[in-house]
Structure 1
């Protein structure tokens, strides 16, 4: 990590040289920045797609690729070599599955991208949630191979759960890439493409996506890099007339964030390097080198020593940027994931309860949702045990108005207003104030049981 955040390499720099270099970097950073999360069922090819993106943008050389090919062949996993670019630890390479969230960056002429490669296995959904909570755009990777799409799409498959969780955590734009189109069972079949596209568009519409505005579906081969950086040759696929993946990403339109709000950066990583370094995505406001901030909820004053966008040191950075910030005034052992780096003038509140609007998704068998129900709360980078303290109202699904009678329990599909309690102080916002800090999911027994938004906070926060 120290290598990733190295300082500018200038031999004996003068103050003027440093200022000029920082100005040049800030000029580069005027390109818009988008965080892209790769989601989908296990074995759909997410890490291969991520690795291929880095190879196509010149961040991995041929010699390294040859080394990975040899390593994969020795493990009798010849087709996994591109995934080794994103899956860097031995457990991931041995099992052929992503465990941690892989992170990398690349640029096109218009946009700087951060790639977040999330795990596809159901055991690692919390890690996928962490990645989705930091993303602006989703790339849903689906395998076209015979039987693999169906396995991911059936109830319990991660194609469904990842899609719904991405929507919950604010990923409103989705590019659906139908991968492995080069597989012998598919052979760039238009019929197979249309079959999957039709099924997914219906499901995405039911999940709350505007399929005409927010969804794009395109065929690719992650292993071969076909239709990724450039449009594919008509000799490969005669029927495709749409864009490549890079073109589709560059064309995604997301509302520009407001840099004038109170500073908020949920902390999703930390380490020690000439001070304490915290990592996360800025959800509101702007940070400048030299700023005084607070680490919440422990209300610790800190000073910003340095700000990094990827490997580049910058003077200031605004919302939607994935940053590493070096701080003084706090030790890394006093920081936990889910803490929030916050402005002093308008600090984020810390609470142990809040009011939420919840949609019940899928309860475990023989469970009902009532006061006393316990679950794991996932909200931005927070993972915390919680309990339903009170069901306040059930909402009529047609009129969207409270049903005027006492509610004691609800089942799948219900919409409720409830009060939720946690044991430890957490930093959240109302959804109407800062959306990314007010969306959440509740999970039990490896299932997403409910999704919701924060609608009320205690007045004494």
Structure 2
């Protein structure tokens, strides 16, 4: 992730080439085509930006997906778009990731544009943190650029500006962050350490990833798979990352929030091979039996029949207001992004202000909240959502609120309330 033109797709394409996932012949074909289109320096990104529009403009629109292996591990790359019009698609990518690679352009003027207010460097960092990406690699890219030429002073300047901001976002620079100078275009410090960069003695990007500690996986927990995309192919196929538990072929699962029981008839891994079972952390595709494609939407979830995910249209959440010029009162509407779902919501009532220093809740409900404040509010959604409290399932209990193309607030679900419709049914 990172600002427009920081070099995300080019770096991704080079990783695929260096790890042998895209062979030399294909790359030469891309290089020739790119030259003919007058886009010589873009050819590496074509390995990830596959549609015509993305290649013509050199901008990623959707989250590109690719797969590569090193001697030690298997990886899925999610290449996020940098443009601010496509932030929702960046959020869906971040919600499926374990590790974030924030790509920063070291080229003169480009780092500054990305980092200023309104640049995507800040917003992407914040959204990644909210989506549950707790480890970040900051790749200072384009170090081979004529304006930089592997200059250590430029690298240090960028670090000194980024570090305070990362702390503010909630990352601990000592334990959660690794900085490295790279060139996505020449491949320096991507797979092998660079000889041009004499002052950096740390690992290359892939060495660092290979030695990273894996995250704690909830293998014995109930199955939960937020659905990121769906399509028709001899039945209904869904794509998503298993957030907890495991699934095997032939298993009966529950599709929420519409409470449909369905059978998993096939599971495909990252390389499109069919497998018998998949576990927590895997990015997979599954074929479902007895469910039509139009009965599934992104944001729905597959879960355990015995222990289904909670669904509701009303919940209480703690919100931190990041960016809003005016005050926010009860009745405010925005768009909520939670795991893979996107819903319109209304803040029906503000319950307590939270004192930032003491963490205490106010007794009286506030009349309004403004930028920089924290509040507990009651949220109502237009349609039922699959949701859990942050305490029980962090991945399914944190969200962002967006309005007018900006991220307004980040939130955590404190309490899931029963919808009134459920009360009436009883």
TM-score bracket relative to the smaller structure:
over 0.9
Q: Equivalent residue of 1:156, what SS?
A: coil
Partner in structure 1 of residue 253 of structure 2: 293
Q: Give deviations 1:183-202, integer Å, cap 9, x for gaps.
A: 00000000111111121111
Please state if 1:118 is matched with 2:60.
no
Q: Does residue 65 of structure 1 match 2:27?
A: yes
Match of 1:13 in 2: none
Tell me which of 316, 330, 336 is aligned to 1:371: 330
- With normalisation by structure 1, the TM-score equals 0.89
Return the alpha-carbon distance in structure 1 between the equivalents of residues 15 and 321 of structure 2: 37
Q: Does 1:313 align with 2:286?
A: no
Match of 1:255 among 210, 215, 227: 215
**1:254 positional shift:** 4.0
1:173–1:252: 8 Å Cα contact kept in structure 2?
A: no
* 1:144 is aligned to 2:144: no
Do the aligned partners of 2:226 and 2:301 also contact (CA within 8 Å) in 1?
Answer: yes
Q: Which residue of 1 aligns with 2:143?
A: 181
Q: How many residues align?
A: 419
Report the CA distance between 1:70 and its aligned residue.
1.8
For residues 329 and 459 of structure 1, the distance between their equivalents in structure 2, rounded to whole angstroms, comes to 29
Structure 1 position 276, deviation (Å)? 1.3
Alignment of 1:73-88 (within 5 A): 73-88=35-50
Deviations 1:62-81 (A, max 9, x none): 22111211222222221111
Q: Does 1:450 align with 2:412?
A: no
Query: Quick one: which of 281, 292, 299 aligns to 1:331?
Result: 292
Match for 1:385 among 322, 344, 347?
A: 344
- Any idea what the Cα deviations from partners look like across 1:224-272, whole Å, max 9, x if unmatched? 1111011112xx1111101100011112224321111111100011122
Matches of 2:185 and 2:328, distance apart in 1? 44
Contact kept, 8 Å, 2:314 with 2:418, in 1: the verdict is: no
Structure 1 residues 139-178: aligned runs within 5 Å: 139-178=101-140
Give 1:275's match in structure 2, choosing from 222, 228, 235.
Answer: 235
Runs of 4+ in structure 1 over 3 Å off: none
| C-alpha contact 1:270 1:277 (8 A) present in aligned 2 | yes
> 1:448 aligns to what SS in structure 2?
strand
Tell me how far 1:406 sits from its aligned partner. 2.7
Where 1:126 maps in the other structure, the secondary structure is helix
Length-normalised TM-score, structure 2: 0.97
Partner of 2:181: 219
TM-aligned CA deviation for residue 459 of structure 1: 4.4
Deviations 1:415-442 (CA, angstroms, capped at 9, x unpaired): 1100001111110111111111111000
Distance 2:121 2:303 in 1: 35
**Helix, strand or coil at the partner of 1:413:** coil
1:404 offset after TM fit, Å?
Answer: 2.6
Whether the aligned pair in 1 keeps the contact of 2:351 and 2:364 (CA below 8 Å) is no
Q: Does 1:133 align with 2:95?
A: yes
List alignment gaps of at least 5 residues for structure 1.
1-38
Change in Cα spacing, 1:369 to 1:254, as seen in structure 2 (3 Å) is farther
Q: How far is 1:154 from its partner?
A: 0.1
1:353-397 C-alpha deviation (Å, 9 max, x unpaired): 11000100001x3x2111011100000001111110110000000
Q: Within 5 Å, which residues of 2 pair with 1:35-46? A: 39-46=1-8
The two structures, once aligned, show a CA RMSD in angstroms of: 1.1
Per the alignment, in what secondary structure is the counterpart of residue 88 of structure 1?
Answer: coil
Q: Give yes or no for the alignment of 1:191 onto 2:156.
A: no
Cα deviation per residue 1:83-132 (whole Å; 9 max; x = unaligned)?
11100011111111100110011112222111000000000000000000
2:379 maps to what in 1?
A: 420
| 1-structure distance, mates of 2:189, 2:7 | 15
1:344 aligns with 2:274: no
Partner SS, residue 369 of structure 1: coil
